Amino acid sequence: MELARPYTAAFASRFLLMLQYRAAAFAGFLTQCWWGGIKVMVYAAFFRGATVTAPITLSQVITYTWLAQAFLALAPWGCDPDVALAVRNGSVGYDRLRPVDNYGLWYARAAGWMTSRAIPRAALMFLFAGVALPLAGLADWSWAPPPSVAQALLFAVSLPFVVTLSSAMVMLLNIAVVAILNDRGVNSLLSPLVIVFSGNLIPLTIFPDWMHVALFVQPFAGLVDIPFRIYTGNLTGGAAWAGIALQALWTIVIVALGRAWMARVMRRLAMQGG
Amino acid sequence: MTHIVVEELAKSYRVAERDPGVFGALKGLVRRRTRTIEALQGVSFTLERGELLGFIGPNGAGKSTTIKILSGILEPDAGRVEVDGLVPHADRIKHVARIGVVFGQRTQLWWDLPVVDGFELLRDIYRVDRAAYARTRDELVAMLRLERLLDQPVRQLSLGQRMRAEIAAALLHEPRILFLDEPTIGLDAPSKLAVREFVKRLNRERGVTVLLTTHDMHDIEALAERVIVIGHGRVLADGTFNALRARIAAEQGPDDTDDQLPIEQVIARFYHLHGATEA
């Protein structure tokens, strides 16, 4: 407990601060509703015209889409803006003055930042797609509950790993920013990969069959495809557990990579000027 | 007891350079040019526990580099450095728990958080016992007159208010040594006096070892019994302020022993005599 105190405090402080940005959460929610609506309609047209049976049903895709929109903020879209700011104004040196593991502190902060942005957006999205749409008689288009208790429990295990994995990826971006002292290029580096390979654009199972294994084992699948296909009941039993194991494994690998890289970058870090 | 030992410390930086204009930019694409700057070339001194040492020198002389090495942020290229028996960059985590640092030109408090929230975050980051924290905080708040600032977000503070809060933030974990890098930069007269008064009390009453850098000679006159002048990465003088003044007078020759010379001029002459002014 005492050992974890700096890290939990950093998480909590960031979490509580970010929760206060209500307007941003609301704007994000509206955008995500809009895109979600468009995607759902495109899928409906796509499934109606399909000549072969898809490996995922339309109602599963619809729920998957709402989930992906709801938890959009959990993906590693860019570096932690606090780190970018600290690098620009030089206060990054102060982080080296804290008697803690620097990687751990930044990781906790990134995780707090991400979850606090995701929770209000996800709650609003659930009210819209999970409650309002069925009430309006649009149950076919809505965010449906998981098909079984087992899938719900598996999802409850998988979702936290989205945060651990995504934070590890954000840390790679943070360290890149420290190494090159600029955040703009770094932030556009990962996004295209995330959009395609996480399953944010389309569920990975819709890609051609021969690509399935490769797509399943690559690290980005654990951000969207694995947890949300578990929720919809498209990924079950041993395959679901394999997906969760991959999320955990990639978290460990990327954290290890990040730690090694950060140690190198910090040794070279020169706090300029002043 | 010796608190700091520094022997033959050396540190160089590489800075990127390019010729001006479009042609220079294009040339820079093909061939990068860097220049090595010798920030420190053999700095040595020792500091006793409870001493208050002032570091002066022109811009770019190596003062901040020395503080960054002493605080463990930078690794020296050569030489020995030991603070309280620890090598700062090697034993970073253990070392930084015992020191307090204020960089006058940076902020360590969280811009969007009220001052007291920032203090509490630091309390948890340093794993300070809650009762001890409450006591230290109340003392610091009283000494630095922070009562009315505690609930304000840091971004709303004036520079003088912020500097007082920064100094308190650096002392919440009761460090045995305090490094102040230009703590009075940009402050108005009352704020400067408040900072000086506080540093003096901290040193006299608590026995905290203080090492500060400044360009304000009045800081030095008011605070430091001992001054180190640093220029071009070397120690040019080390002694009491009066000894430094006498030495400058002697170097100027017998016809120019004007005791009434403003302190700034005295120092500027010294820098000039030793060719220490920045390129």
- Residue B12: the pLDDT is 86
* CATH number of the domain that residue B167 is part of: 3.40.50.300
Q: Which of A2, A85, A96 is most worth mutating to test chain B (most B CB atoms within 10 A of its CB)?
A: A96
Residues of chain A with Cβ-Cβ distance to B75 below 8 Å are 267
- Determine which of A18-22, A246-250, B125-129 has the lowest per-residue pLDDT on average: A18-22
- Determine which of A37-51, A223-237, B215-229, B242-256 has the lowest per-residue pLDDT on average: B242-256
**DSSP label at A223?**
G
Task: Decide if A93 and B106 are in contact by the 8 Å CB cutoff.
Answer: yes
With respect to residue B28, please indicate whether it lies within any of the assigned structural domains: no
With respect to residue B23, please indicate whether it lies within any of the assigned structural domains: no
CA dihedral A232, A235, A241, A247 (to 10 degrees): -80
Pick from A170, A159, A20, A158: which is nearest to A109 by CA? A170
Of B13, B93, B101, the CB nearest to A99: B93
Q: Does residue B261 have a pLDDT over 70? A: no
The percentage of chain A sitting over the pLDDT mark of 70, rounded to a whole number, equals 98
Residues of chain B with Cβ-Cβ distance to A97 below 8 Å are 71-73, 96, 99, 101, 108
The percentage of chain B sitting over the pLDDT mark of 90, rounded to a whole number, equals 47
With respect to residue B178, please indicate whether it lies within any of the assigned structural domains: yes
Domain of B205? 2-10+43-273
With respect to residue B113, please indicate whether it lies within any of the assigned structural domains: yes
**DSSP label at B146?**
-
What order do you get walking across the sheet with B99-103 strand by strand?
B99-103, B177-181, B209-213, B52-56, B226-231, B234-240
Q: Which segment, A128-132, A181-185, B243-247, B269-273, is predicted with the most confidence on average?
A: A128-132
Mean pLDDT confidence for B264-268 = 78
With respect to residue B189, please indicate whether it lies within any of the assigned structural domains: yes
With respect to residue B149, please indicate whether it lies within any of the assigned structural domains: yes
- Residue A22: the pLDDT is 80
Interface of chain A against chain B, CB under 8 Å?
A: 2, 5-6, 8-10, 13, 17, 89-91, 93-94, 96-101, 105, 267, 269-271, 273-274
Task: Decide if B72 and A96 are in contact by the 8 Å CB cutoff.
Answer: yes
Interface of chain B against chain A, CB under 8 Å?
A: 13, 64, 68, 71-75, 92-94, 96-97, 99, 101, 103, 105-108, 110, 112-113, 117, 120-121, 124-127, 181-182
Of B13, B71, B117, the CB nearest to A97: B71
Residues of chain B with Cβ-Cβ distance to A105 below 8 Å are 125
Mean pLDDT confidence for A161-180 = 94
Task: Decide if A9 and B105 are in contact by the 8 Å CB cutoff.
Answer: no
Task: Write A53-57 long-range contacts (CB < 8 A, 24+).
Answer: A54/A206, A55/A205, A55/A206, A55/A234, A56/A203, A56/A205, A56/A206, A56/A229, A56/A232, A56/A234, A57/A234
Mean pLDDT confidence for B94-119 = 91
Of B96, B103, B117, the CB nearest to A13: B117
Give the pLDDT confidence of B37-85 residue by residue, as tens digits: 888 888 999 999 999 999 988 887 888 889 999 999 888 989 999 999 9
Task: Decide if B117 and A96 are in contact by the 8 Å CB cutoff.
Answer: no
Of B121, B126, B127, the CB nearest to A13: B121
Give the pLDDT confidence of B140-181 residue by residue, as tens digits: 999 999 999 999 999 999 999 999 999 999 999 999 999 999
Task: Decide if A274 and B106 are in contact by the 8 Å CB cutoff.
Answer: yes
- Residue A273: the pLDDT is 42
Pick from B104, B142, B105, B102: which is nearest to B122 by CA? B102
With respect to residue B161, please indicate whether it lies within any of the assigned structural domains: yes
With respect to residue B105, please indicate whether it lies within any of the assigned structural domains: yes
Q: Closest chain B residue to A20 measured between Cα atoms?
A: B112
* Domain total of chain B: 1
Task: Decide if B96 and A97 are in contact by the 8 Å CB cutoff.
Answer: yes
pLDDT band (50, 70, 90) for residue A274: very low
Task: Decide if B99 and A97 are in contact by the 8 Å CB cutoff.
Answer: yes
* pLDDT, mean over chain B: 87
